Each structure stands twice: as structure tokens, then as C-alpha cells.
Amino acid sequence: MAHTDHLYSELVRLLREAALIGSCGSVLSWDEQTFMPGHGAAFRADQLGLLAGLAHERATSPGIGELLSELERSSDLGDADSDRVVNIREARRSFDRQTKLPRRLVEELSHTTTLSQQAWVSAREDSDFAAFLPWLEKMIGLKREEAAAVGYGDGVPYDALLDDYEPGMTAAEVQRVFTPLRDELVKLVAAIQHSSRRPNLEILSRHYPKTPQIVLAEGASKAIGFDFESGRIDESAHPFCSGFGPGDCRLTTRYNDHHFNSAFFGVLHESGHGIYEQGLPRDSFGTGIGQAASLGIHESQSRLWENFIGRSRSFWQYLFPTARSAFPKALGDVSLDEFCFAINDVRPSLIRVEADEVTYNLHIMLRFEIEQDLVSGKLKPADVPVAWNEKVTQYFGLAVPGDANGCLQDIHWSAGLLGYFPTYALGNMYAAQFYNAAKRDLGNVDDLCSRGDFKPLKAWLNEKIHRHGKRYRASRLVEIVTGESLSHLPLIAHLRGKYSELYGL
Amino acid sequence: MAHTDHLYSELVRLLREAALIGSCGSVLSWDEQTFMPGHGAAFRADQLGLLAGLAHERATSPGIGELLSELERSSDLGDADSDRVVNIREARRSFDRQTKLPRRLVEELSHTTTLSQQAWVSAREDSDFAAFLPWLEKMIGLKREEAAAVGYGDGVPYDALLDDYEPGMTAAEVQRVFTPLRDELVKLVAAIQHSSRRPNLEILSRHYPKTPQIVLAEGASKAIGFDFESGRIDESAHPFCSGFGPGDCRLTTRYNDHHFNSAFFGVLHESGHGIYEQGLPRDSFGTGIGQAASLGIHESQSRLWENFIGRSRSFWQYLFPTARSAFPKALGDVSLDEFCFAINDVRPSLIRVEADEVTYNLHIMLRFEIEQDLVSGKLKPADVPVAWNEKVTQYFGLAVPGDANGCLQDIHWSAGLLGYFPTYALGNMYAAQFYNAAKRDLGNVDDLCSRGDFKPLKAWLNEKIHRHGKRYRASRLVEIVTGESLSHLPLIAHLRGKYSELYGL
């Protein structure tokens, strides 16, 4: 056993070192998006390029491969869910994925991603799909190569891409839950559209000065459990959460003086991600147990706090008096019910990131369908706008006025993030399942929220989900925590219950 | 020649790579001191430790040594002041210094520095020299080892330490200028103390709200030429300037609502450093030509803007109306002359960082004398407080009430920065010499300042000093720019002229 211990310690040391280099890159990326002066961009790209190269070099070093092979031959590692076995499993997974890609492909992907994102920025500005098309074609080609290199067993190439973000998940499994979810959502959206009730949205675009917005949002973030001794919130053009490592997690948001939702719900969302990062076991940094289970599980944490808690009436029973004191002019004449209805407005729209809790998932399905067809070769990149616009009409009954508001709206494809979109909707489904389990275990969560007592829920999430890191695959984690496998039903039940009441369905 | 070109390009590539890693550490250190949440400290130490190790590994890689040896054998490199020859010379200097230190010593210095600084922080808090003494003893021992390993020709061990900060400078040369400077300063301080004139210091401790302080300081920084597209100013407990690399230089300061000088002159000082960093040739990053000539030259730039310009009457002819609008309550009843006298108050004091332009240099000499004796072994670390307090009485006529306000006040010795102090006073002398040369070349600099036109002076500094990086040793740079060798006379003439007028001597 002493020899195995030694090998394992050495493996952990190498993994930690690679992760530490990666974490230095995270600090530099965060700075790039928050504070870096404009003329620092070219030099920052040099710094980040070097760190990425060093991290890749370490993560794929033959030493790790040899240690893994030796360790995998040991018979006395422990049970399959033990820290050690999980960390070896995850190290193998990551090592294989990174070493299977030929160096030429890694470099071409990196290079193309940079140029393709630049092309996307100006193509979106000009709503000019033709300008982006060559880059999309190139990227799809490279991602198909990546899928072939990584391999996908009996599945489809898309699985290999999806697996990078949602380990163990397949396109077929996503399809199994998306199909009934879509049918139910389309019905729910139609019912809402037929309702005569409409919230007064004007109240959310009144003047909300920035300083009290910061105080309210940071106060809420702290209240739900984001630890400001181990993190902070700054401003950036695109909100994100970056967990540098133990004791340091950075969130960002953006403030709009005439749009209440943007910063407030953005902060709750990122705080959900941040609470997950802060809940990962400190001592396991750099290993599987110290990493989030999957992007879907990560998103479940942000959506749970943003939507299931943050858009609930009970949450605002607690916070509305504070909000009204912070914005006496904007909210002085607004009732709790008017406010809760306004922040839960549902309507078909063109832009994903502005979509409500109900229609959001349809945006995801549309993208999932198109990117599956792109990767399989069934859809040519040149035909994306037509396919996109048809689906928007089919799902939302809307016409797309231009590709900037259609297939050019998201950065993902230009950044090579094929297979990423489904994790957003998976996150919503996981969140609904976790929320039900939390209510089962904790009793009246609404009551706790209305008192502003979020500690039990945060502690439950820490205990049931966060502390395990990647111990269980997402699907198994859901089963262990909720007693049920992945299902669309809890999400649909949540949405149906909540919106039937608001819209009088 | 093609072969030499190839070798040289490869050398530059390796040097740049090592410098890039170092610059990533600079970003992380900056963040540590400005924005990092408290619980991130331990992890940050891990990140910085790894980066320092990687940078050292690269900077001392045998590949660099081999390239240097091959290049040094070439006969066709160019003249001694060409970029190429300078970069090879500086690479050799740095490579030798780093490879001469045994690994054991490097690690022990690094480890001791961390612990010793922690011990110093609490020893200073408790004014308990005995608690710091073992660390000082250990540090002096290690620095003597370092000096022996580096070597110092016909000089003294102290030279080897000084040379790290002020290449080519020796203790004897410092002594040559410090001795007459000290005699003159002691006379000037005595004359000022005998004057019946005293400024009204109360006006500087009135209420100066933070926001207009930021606006005034950043406005002045921009006016003198710090480029905010390539840098920024944030807050930290201890002000500093960190040039990450081309296009990105960060300054910090601290604001005190009841002390005008602290932030304003701190920002001018750091801006002087920042303008130097921003004036280094972008394309030479990582090589000698892309680096500051010495710490003394660096300090000359900060002192020139802070003191020669920033504390001049002509500067405030330009800025005082703006300052008065920014602080109508504090400055409404203050005249330009009262203000200029107050910011130029001279009086013996115990604390170096709060000292005025005249007595500051005496603080440096005191430290220079003590640390020389420590390194030579003439003074035992245990006897430092007695030696310190005697010199304070001798130079300032003051009694030291406790070591926190005496020999424990500075971080330098605990951080292993032996040989660093003289560069502060050298900077003041260089600044006086440069300032005279600028007036010779540009005509009436006072007139330019009173109009707020700092472009000619900044351009002159860029042209004469900044763009050369390490092309010339500090002493030669001074000769080339001013036509004179290092001398205390211009500084004394400046101080005597200025303070005779203010104090009616």
C-alpha cells in the first residue's frame, strides 16, 4: 500500500501543479474582463497563451500517463466512489481527452477560436451571416475532427463534444427529456399567451440608481450564502463566475440604471455558481473531487437561486421592503404582487439571454437541434439561418428580422463551444429536481425564504451536492440526491404551478 | 551572420518567455494587494510560488547559458551600445547572478523572507525588536552568503548586494557622494530650524473628501503624461507601481480624508515610475533594452515629478485653482503661497516615508551606514537599536521612543532588501541632475509647468532616458544626459535655493 500511496501522492502533486497554472490564467482572464486597460490586450494574449501552453504541457505530461497506468493496475485503491478512485478516474478521463487530440488540431482549434470570435463580433454587429460562414464551416470541421479523435463508442459524434461539458451524457439521453419538455412548454407558453393577465413591465425600467443596486444585489448574494471573505463581485461586459481556487471566487455583473432585472438576477445567478465553487472541498483542489460535477449541475445551482428562490413570492416577502427603501421613487407605489408578476413576465422573444424562465428552454432546444445536425453533417453551415428562422417561427411564432437577432446572437459556436447549450436546460431540470428534494428534506422552504433564512438550503446543497465534486456523474448524483432519475416532470410541474397562479390559467 | 541572428533570436525568445512568466506573477501580486479577498491568501501564495519557480527555472535554463557563450564568441555583434550587445550583456549579468546562487540558498532565502516578514509585522506592532532579532540575524547571514556567491571583485560584500538594484554602483561611490551631501543637508536643516517662518500645516489636515481627491490626483497624473489607456490607479495599503509589460502598468495609492499630501503626492510619485515603465520600448520586452536602467534611475523619475515639479510653485500656479474648486471648504481661504509653503514643510522626524524632501536623504544615509556595518560584520544585529537611535539623535536631534518608530519601521531588511536603501537618495541626486539638464535643453520649464504643459518635459524624459532601458549603466546615463558625473551638488543647489526662499534663509 505504501507504494500505491506514493504513486497517488505524486499524481495529485502533478495534477495540482497543472491546475495551479490554469488558475493563474483564470486570474489574468478575470482581470482582462474587469480592470485591464485597453492597450494591455495584446500583451495579455501573450501571457494567457503561454500559461495555456504550460498548463496543457503539464496536464498531458507522460509522467501523469505512467502514474495512471501504474495506479490502475493496483487492486487495493478503495471502493469506486472513494476520493482516490474518483480522482484517478477523472485524471484518466481528462488525460485521455487531452492526449487524444493531435497537437496540430489543438493549435488549429486555439488559433481558429481566436480569429473566429473576432469575425463573429463584427459579423453580429453588421448582422452579416455570410461574413461568419467561413469560420463556422471551419469550426464545425474542426469539432468533427475533435469528436473523431476523442471517440464516442456506439453513440454519435455529438456525444464526444457534449461529454466535455456534461460527462457521461449523450445526445440520445438529452433528446429523451427534451422531447416531452418541449411539448409541455409549447402548451404552457400558448396558455400564457391566451391569458388576459399581463404584468406591468414599466415598473422594472424605471430609474434604479447604481449604488443602491449594488447594495441590494450584494446584500442578497451574501444573504443566500456567497462568502465575501472568499470572493467578490465586480463589473464586466458579460457576467461570469470564475472560481480561481480555494478561498477565492470572483463574480461579475453589469448594472443598467433603467433595468432592474439585469444586475439583480444576474448576481443571484452568478452567486449560485459561486456558492457551488466555494462549497467544493478545499483540500481536493486540482483533482476530480475538487471540481464541479458538470456544467449542467453548475447551472442547476445558479438557476435554483436565481429562479426557484429569487423569483419566488416568498423570497420577495423577505426582500421587497428592503428593495422599496433602496428605490423609493421606483418602487414606492408598487405592491409586492405587482412586482412579483413583473419579474415573472413570460413572453416569446428572440434573444436567449433575455428570455424568461419558461421560454428559455425552447431557445436551448432550438440550438441543440441545429448543432446536432451541424455536427452530424445533416445541416450545412450555410443553411443555418433558414433552419434557425423556421424554428423560431415554429417555437415562438416570431419572425427573425436579421441574423444578429437570430443565429448570430450567441458567442458559443464561434468559440468552439459545440455541445454546451444543452447543459443550460439540463441545469433547469436538475434544479427543479433538487428543489423538490430540498423541500422533502427541509420542510417548508418557502417559509424559510420569506424569513430570509437561507442557511438550511445552502447547507443542504453543500452537503448533498457541492462537497462531492465530481464523485458521481451528474445523472447518478441526481438519483442519489432526489431518488429519481433525470426527468422533465419536476420542471414542468414547477412552471405549470407557478404560472397558472400568476396568469390565472 | 545568419547563424548569429538565429542564436540571438532564440535567446530573445527564451528571455521573453521567462519574463512573460514573471509578468503573470506581477498581475497576481497586484491583485493580491488591491482586490483579493482575505481568504484567498494561502492559495495565492501557492500560485505565486509556482510562478516564481517556473520563472527561475526558465531564467537559469542551460539553454540560455549555451546561447550566451556562443554569442559571446561572435565577433560581429555590433557596437557596445547597440541593442543586441546590450541585451546579451544584460542577459549574461542576470543569468550569472541567478546561476551563481546555490539552489539551497535560493530556497532558504525565499522561505526565510516569507517568515521573516511575518515576524517583522508583529514585532513592529509590538515594538519588540527582540522578537525580530533572530530573523534579522538569519537574514544578514544569508545575504552575506549571497554576496560571497555572487562575488564583488576588489570591493566589499555590500557591493554585490547593491549591484542587484543599481548595476555597477559600489558602496565606495555611494559614500563619495553621500558624505558631502550629508554635511550640506545637516547645515541646511539647521538653518531651516533656526528660521522664524513656519508653514500652517493645519490646512493640509482639513477634510478632503475622497472622490474629489481621486479626480484631482488622476487628473494630475494624466496631465503629466501617465497614459490611462495603458494603465490604471487603484488602492492598496502600500502604494506601488507595477509595470506588467507593454501597454499595461498599474499604480496604487491610498486615500486619507484628513491628509492631503498622502494620496496626491503618492500618485505623482507612482506616476513618475509609471511614465518610465510606459516609456520603455515595447518591442524589447523581456530584454535589457526593455528594462529600467536601475532602481536609482527609476526613483529619479518618480522624484522628479513628485518633488521637482509637483512641489514647485509653478506647478501649483497651474493646479491650485482646480484644487480649490475641488475642495472649496478646505482651500477656500488658503492662498497659493500658504499652500506651497505647507506642502514644503521641512522638519526632522522619525519616520522615513513621511519625511520631507530635505530630511529624507538623511534617513537613507542612516540606513546605508547601518546596513553596511551589518553586512561587513562590524555591527552585530543585536546592536542595531542602539546604533539606530544614536544616529537619529545625531542627524535629527530626536530621541526614538520605541523601535517601532526606529529600526523596525521599514519592511526592507525583513524582506532581504539589503543594499536597496541607497537607491532612494541616488534617485534624488539623479533627479536634480536630470532636471537641470532638462531646463538647459527645454528653456523655461517653470513657465511650461505654470501653464500645465508637461508634454515637452515628458517627451524629453522619454527621449533621453526611458527609451534606452538598460543600454547605459546609471552613472554613464547621467553623464550622457547631463554632461556631468553623479554629484550631490545639483540636489543641494536645488534644495538650498528653494528652501532659502521659503524660509527666508
Cell numbers representing residue B330 in the block:
478646505
pLDDT at B291: 98
3-state per-residue secondary structure call for A294-338: CHHHHHHHHHHHHHHHCCCHHHHHHHHHHHHHHCHHHHCCCCHHH
Question: CA B364, CA B352: separation in Å to the nearest integer?
Answer: 8
Residue among B276, B259, B282, B270 nearest B233 (CA): B270
Question: CA A357, CA B70: separation in Å to the nearest integer?
Answer: 67
Residue among A311, A445, A369, A436 nearest A181 (CA): A369
Contacts of B440 (CB under 8 A, 6+ apart): none
Interval B300-358: pLDDT, tens: 999 999 999 999 999 999 999 999 999 999 999 999 999 999 999 999 999 999 999 99
- Our separate counts of H helices and E strands in chain A read 21, 3
pLDDT at B1: 60
Instruction: For residue B283, count CB atoms less than 10 angstroms from its CB and return exposed for 0-12, middle for 13-18, buried for 19 or more.
Output: exposed
pLDDT at A399: 97
What does the domain layout of chain A look like in residue ranges?
201-348+444-470
- Chain A environment of B248 (Cβ under 8 Å): 36-37, 39-40, 43-44
- Chain B environment of A58 (Cβ under 8 Å): none
Residue of A nearest to B246 (CA): A43
* B35: contact with A, CB 8 A cutoff: yes
CA atoms within 13 A on the CB side of B239: 22
- Is pLDDT of B77 > 90? no
What ipTM goes with this model?
0.94
A27 with B31: Cβ contact below 8 A:
yes
* B43: contact with A, CB 8 A cutoff: yes
Residue among A42, A48, A3 nearest A22 (CA): A48
Of A50, A228, A229, which is closest to B21 when you measure between CB atoms? A50
Neighbours of B271 (CB within 10 A): 31
Beta bridge partners of A252: A234
* B17: contact with A, CB 8 A cutoff: yes
A47 with B27: Cβ contact below 8 A:
yes
Cell numbers representing residue A105 in the block:
488540431
Q: How many CB pairs under 8 A join A and B?
A: 103
Residue of B nearest to A35 (CA): B232
pLDDT at B390: 97
- Chain A environment of B285 (Cβ under 8 Å): 43
pLDDT band at B75 (very low <50, low <70, confident <90, very high): confident
Question: CA A242, CA A385: separation in Å to the nearest integer?
Answer: 33
Residue of B nearest to A46 (CA): B20
pLDDT at B78: 84
> In the predicted model, what is the mean pLDDT of residues B67-78?
90
| CA of A92 vs chain B CAs: smallest distance (Å) | 24
> In the predicted model, what is the mean pLDDT of residues B439-462?
97
* A222: contact with B, CB 8 A cutoff: no
Query: Which of B173, B270, B277, B299 does the annotation list as catalytic?
Result: B270
A37 with B229: Cβ contact below 8 A:
yes
- Chain A environment of B229 (Cβ under 8 Å): 37-39
* Enzyme catalytic residues of A: 270
Residue among A264, A261, A260 nearest A206 (CA): A260
A51 with B24: Cβ contact below 8 A:
yes
Residue of B nearest to A18 (CA): B50
Q: pLDDT (tens digit, 0 to 9) for every residue of chain A, 505 residues total?
A: 688 999 999 999 999 999 999 999 999 999 999 999 999 999 999 999 999 999 999 999 999 999 999 999 987 788 999 999 999 999 999 999 999 998 899 989 988 998 899 999 999 999 999 999 999 999 999 999 999 999 999 999 999 999 999 999 999 999 999 999 999 999 999 999 999 999 999 999 999 999 999 999 999 999 999 999 999 999 998 999 999 999 999 999 999 999 999 999 999 999 999 999 999 999 999 999 999 999 999 999 999 999 999 999 999 999 999 999 999 999 999 999 999 999 999 999 999 999 999 999 999 999 999 999 999 999 999 999 999 999 999 999 999 999 999 999 999 999 999 999 999 999 999 999 999 999 999 999 999 999 999 999 999 999 999 999 999 999 999 999 999 999 999 999 999 999 999 999 9
Contacts of B163 (CB under 8 A, 6+ apart): B150, B152, B169, B170, B419
* B230: contact with A, CB 8 A cutoff: yes
B20 with A46: Cβ contact below 8 A:
yes
pLDDT at B114: 87
B43 with A231: Cβ contact below 8 A:
no
- Chain A environment of B36 (Cβ under 8 Å): 248
Interval B265-289: pLDDT, tens: 999 999 999 999 999 999 999 999 9
B37 with A232: Cβ contact below 8 A:
yes
Cell numbers representing residue B177 in the block:
557622494
Residue of B nearest to A285 (CA): B43
Neighbours of A26 (CB within 10 A): 18
* A46: contact with B, CB 8 A cutoff: yes
Question: CA A222, CA A235: separation in Å to the nearest integer?
Answer: 17
Question: CA B194, CA B347: separation in Å to the nearest integer?
Answer: 11
| CA of A42 vs chain B CAs: smallest distance (Å) | 8
Of A31, A42, A285, which is closest to B27 when you measure between CB atoms? A31
Q: Compute chain A's Rg from CA coordinates.
A: 23
**Which site among B23, B28, B47 would you substitute to test the A interface, given the most A Cβ atoms closer than 10 Å to its Cβ?**
B47
Interval B491-502: pLDDT, tens: 999 999 999 999
Of B46, B230, B285, which is closest to A37 when you measure between CB atoms? B230
Q: Return the percentage of chain B with pLDDT > 70, whole number.
A: 100
* Pair A32, A74: CB distance under 8 Å: no
B37 with A231: Cβ contact below 8 A:
yes
> In the predicted model, what is the mean pLDDT of residues B235-262?
96
- Our separate counts of H helices and E strands in chain B read 21, 3
* B13: contact with A, CB 8 A cutoff: no
* B24: contact with A, CB 8 A cutoff: yes
Interval B138-190: pLDDT, tens: 999 999 999 999 999 999 999 999 999 999 999 999 999 999 999 999 999 99
pLDDT at A1: 60
Interval B180-216: pLDDT, tens: 999 999 999 999 999 999 999 999 999 999 999 999 9
A43 with B245: Cβ contact below 8 A:
yes
Residue among A455, A449, A444 nearest A312 (CA): A449
Question: CA B296, CA B293: separation in Å to the nearest integer?
Answer: 8
| CA of A263 vs chain B CAs: smallest distance (Å) | 21
Instruction: For residue B397, count CB atoms less than 10 angstroms from its CB and return exposed for 0-12, middle for 13-18, buried for 19 or more.
Output: exposed
What DSSP string describes B13-78?
Answer: HHHHHHHHHHHHHHHHHHHHHHT--GGGHHHHHHHHHHHHHHHHHHHT-HHHHHHHHHHHH-S-S-
A28 with B27: Cβ contact below 8 A:
yes
User: How would you classify the pairing of strands A241-245 and A248-253?
Assistant: antiparallel
Neighbours of B107 (CB within 10 A): 12
